[in-house]
Amino acid sequence: MASISSRRLAKELNEIHAQGCPVGIELKQADDFVTWRFSIEVMGESLYKGEKHLLQFRFDPSYPISSPAVQFVVEDGREAPIHPHVYSNGHICASILGNEWSPVLSVVAVCVTLQSMLASCKKKERPVDNDRYVKNAPDNPKKTRFHYDGPYLFLRYLPATATRD
Amino acid sequence: MDLSDETRIKATSEEANEWAGKNKSPNTPSPNFISHIFYLTAAMSHYGYLKTISTYNDLSKVMEEMQRHLDMLTGDGSWRNGPRQARIEAAIKLTKDEITKVKAQQLSFEVQLLDPELVFQSIGFTTFLSVWLIRQADPRKTHPSPVVELPLPQEVPMSFRVLPEYLVEDIVDYLVFAVRNVPESFALSGKTEVMQFILTFLTSTWYIKNPFLKSKINDVLFMAIWPYGRERNGILGSMLNTHPMALKHLMPALMHFYIEVEQTGASSQFYDKFNARRNISFVLKAIWDNPVHREALNVEAKNVDKFVRFVNLMINDVTYLLDESLSELTQIHNIQVEMDDKATWESQTPEHRRERESTLRSLERHASSYTTLGRSTVELLKLFTAQTKTPFMMPEIVDRLAAMLDYNLDALAGPRCQDLKVRDAEKLRFNPRALLSDILQVFLNLADQPEFVCAVAGDGRSYKKELFERAADIAIRRTLKSVTEIEKLRLFVVKVEEMKATLEAEEDLGEVPDEFLDPLMFTVMRDPVILPSSKTTLDRSTIKSHLLSDSKDPFNRAPLSIEDVIPNTELKAQIDAFLTERRKNSGSFQQPQDSNVNIPKMEVD
């Protein structure tokens, strides 16, 4: 049975199986239509020569209308590539994963974009706000743009009368 | 008074200067004494009284901050009898002394600010100012007799736009202060004016530019229904349910503002948005039992496009808030489990334990806001789906609604629900049973809608028959639902299962030509439309759901609105013919298939 997203994902998966992934990208896990994993490697000369990273996609039921949650896997000794747009918890700051997402993009297209993001990197460094971000980061990177401030002020106007009674 | 540097309600400084230049004439008589007094009082109140109120409000923030600092210092008390005891005790004492000082300041501010005579005069002036302001916007310039007609005209007069913004701000800030701190002072007078002010600017939000100000007007409304003393519905509660102006305009105003806060454009929009919507849902609940308001809602729901946007936002909010609160609760659960394992926990380094504890505290802080907000949005969904079902059945809505409900039902009643067990669930305002009961109620509300049955059947992600059985068991055990309701739920599942079988049969269409498939969803298009700029054909429901979050053509990012799409009638005819053909074939196929089943039996014989 198909949920909204699974038809599309099934189609993408068939294409990957039929045509294979672009060079340097390998499908590692796609047992369901919730989480997929790819290994990603920059080919040729780059700062990341010889490094292989694991990229994870999580899809919600409204994929591809809404973007997938994409991050590098940082568990079992794996680390996120050191890059000015990649946080040490694996979260990636890339506009195509946020407000520039378009349902025309596909999982493989995202892999290729991130691969070339690494390939064109000039200096290996973490984002300047890495420590602060990682400390408070939400589990799902898609929620990141909401987390500039704590949500504490919601209750700012709970009137004093509530306690006065 | 020099106003040239002041921000205007809805005009740039150039516009304001131009307007001032045009209207200046040497023959204008100087304003009379009463006008002088009026403008001077407004200015005095702006620079004096309201400034003091804002200083007073800042003190509460300082207080909160220090209280939090004190909690952090106290921690779990494990520092007692340790090497850091003396240092921490000294720090605690210091903070407590500071708190006492700030408390004293707060009290002295209150003595002045809450002086009954001053409050009485100020409410009088503030409501007068609000009436005057509405008259400036009223095209007949007669408000309050007769009262202004709402909503105001689309075109905002320049004479209103150039007024200094602080006039609105002062009214709002004072009302926030007075309604919150001395609600009983409105017993004598001012209620009607406050209501008129709120309704005028919430129905006609385009009269004010600053999104924060609009949000604050909404805040006043929320506080005006908050109970105080013996008044269970706040200062405005009963008026909102009886006054003809409220009966006519409150429901549209709330819906309008609920949608508008989606785009406030401010960097802090995220919680401003939820704060505003939470207030709206409180107000909605306060007026929900009133049939006149419900009728107003039915009228609103007839404006399908607008109402679907409203429903879409509500579903987005529930999805987001529940996902966020449930994932935070799971994390809290995990840390608590970690701490319970005393042996392993004690063997961790102190740094690690401190870090985990502080993570836990911050999770708890977030989680309680999210659970509260999530709960209130689900309640809203529950109320709305009981009252008006059609908008929820639109193709761009219903699948997402079903998937979201199934997903949350799975989280609350599925195999992973144990992960949500946390200590002090009340402290986190997390009430899983009530939430489950509300979600089941939404299912029950929509159970008789064929579109909804179809959408649940089509959700291959979270929907499982067993899930509903478990949920029904819990509901019976915890007496969340009556026997009749559970029966209705079971019936619904039977219908869903039937539909699922039909869908599966239909899905098996064999090879479908590529041009019949939606290029984004890869489902067979039922209503193919052409996008005017990219010339792509795709299903209407796909582009509709895309446009709910992004008003651009996904293929070339050109601006797009749903009115511009062109039905691809030729392709639709082809697809329809194809589907009829296939169905006919698979129908004829089914006969021999059925008889096939019997063949092995005969062989056994």
Q: Which of B33-47, B234-248, B463-477, B495-509 has the lowest mean pLDDT?
A: B495-509
Q: Is the pLDDT of residue B591 over 60?
A: no
CATH number for the domain formed by residue range(s) A4-164: 3.10.110.10
Stretch B241-253: mean pLDDT, rounded? Answer: 93
User: Are B575 and B524 a contacting pair, CB within 8 Å?
Assistant: yes
Q: Which of A49-53, A91-95, B40-44, B105-109 has the lowest mean pLDDT?
A: A91-95
- Tens digit of each residue's pLDDT (9 = 90 or more) over B452-479: 999 998 887 788 899 999 999 999 998 8
Domains of chain B: 13-22+31-77+85-300 (no CATH), 308-504 (no CATH), 516-604 (3.30.40.10)
For residue A58, the distance in angstroms to the closest alpha carbon of chain B comes to 13
In angstroms, the CA B263 to CA A101 distance is 19
Establish if A120 touches chain B: CB-CB under 8 angstroms.
no
Report the residue from A5, A61, A151 with minimal CB separation from B271: A151
- What is the structure's pLDDT at B174? 95
Rg (CA), chain B: 30
B49 CB neighbour count, 10 Å cutoff: 22
- Interface with chain A: mutation pick from B522, B526, B557, highest number of A CBs within 10 Å: B522
Contacts of B549 (CB under 8 A, 6+ apart): A65, A66
- Tens digit of each residue's pLDDT (9 = 90 or more) over B326-374: 888 888 998 888 888 888 888 888 888 888 888 888 888 888 888 888 8
- Taking an 8 Å cut-off on Cβ atoms, the answer to whether B274 and A139 are in contact is no
Contacts of B3 (CB under 8 A, 6+ apart): B164
Q: Which two tokens stand for residue B218?
A: 């909404």
In angstroms, the CA B413 to CA B174 distance is 47
CA distances from B427 to A50, A103, B147, B465, B594 (A): 50, 41, 46, 33, 59
Q: Which helix (H) or strand (E) holds B530?
A: strand B528-530
User: Are B245 and B195 a contacting pair, CB within 8 Å?
Assistant: yes
**Tokens 């409000």, located at residue:** B57
CA atoms within 13 A of residue B83's CA, in its CB half-sphere:
0
Average pLDDT over chain B, rounded to an integer: 86
Cis omega before residue B252 (within 30°)?
no
> DSSP characters for A105-151?
--HHHHHHHHHHHHHT--S----TTHHHHHHH--SSGGGGGGTTS-G
Stretch A102-116: mean pLDDT, rounded? Answer: 91
- Tens digit of each residue's pLDDT (9 = 90 or more) over B118-175: 999 999 999 999 999 999 999 999 888 889 998 999 999 988 999 999 999 999 999 9
CB < 8 Å to B365, chain A? 150, 152
- Tens digit of each residue's pLDDT (9 = 90 or more) over A10-59: 889 989 999 988 999 999 998 888 889 999 998 888 889 888 999 999 98
- Tens digit of each residue's pLDDT (9 = 90 or more) over A137-153: 777 777 665 332 322 22
Contacts of B92 (CB under 8 A, 6+ apart): B70, B73, B74
Q: Is the pLDDT of residue B590 over 60?
A: no
CA-wise closest residue to B297 among B249, B233, B366, B369: B249
The residue ranges of every structural domain in chain A are 4-164
Instruction: For residue A37, list its beta bridge partners.
Output: A29, A56
In angstroms, the CA B539 to CA B521 distance is 9
Q: End-to-end distance of chain A based on CA atoms, in angstroms? A: 55
In angstroms, the CA B246 to CA B244 distance is 5
Report the residue from A11, A151, A161 with minimal CB separation from B226: A161
Q: pLDDT band for A160, please (50, 70, 90 cuts).
A: very low
Q: Is the pLDDT of residue A8 over 60?
A: yes
Task: Using DSSP, state whether A38 is helix, strand or coil.
Answer: strand
- Tens digit of each residue's pLDDT (9 = 90 or more) over B299-318: 888 888 888 888 888 888 88
- Taking an 8 Å cut-off on Cβ atoms, the answer to whether B554 and A102 are in contact is yes
User: Are B240 and A119 a contacting pair, CB within 8 Å?
Assistant: no
Interface of A with B in 131-160 (CB under 8 A): 136, 138-140, 143, 146, 148-157, 159-160
- What is the structure's pLDDT at A45? 83
